[in-house]
Amino acid sequence: MTKVVEFLKESYTEMTEKVTWPTWLELQNSAVIVLVASIIIALLVLGMDESAGNVLKMFYKSFAS
């Protein structure tokens, strides 16, 4: 039990004294970067999905005729 208490004390000390927390402005900037990157990646995946779907439609139509 003493190890658990010691771990909790050390964790609290590290989180309050040793960790450098970002400022509100840094946090907002990082959030915007993540949002923009997520949108770009989502659009790329959408483009690849639509392209693959169109290729498969053309492939299946070539055998249907």
pLDDT given for residue 5 in this prediction: 94
Please give the model's pTM, rounded to 2 decimal places.
Answer: 0.68
Does residue 44 lie within any of the structural domains?
A: yes
Query: Using CA atoms, how far apart are residues 58 and 60, in angstroms rounded to an integer?
Result: 6
Domain residues for 42? 22-65
Would 17 be classed as within a structural domain? no
Is residue 61 a part of any domain in this protein? Answer: yes
Split at pLDDT 50, 70, 90, the class of 62 is: very high
Q: Per the domain annotation, does 11 fall within a domain?
A: no
When divided into structural domains, the chain yields a total of: 1
Q: Is residue 3 part of a domain?
A: no
Q: What is the pLDDT of residue 64?
A: 80
Q: Which amino acid is at 20?
A: T
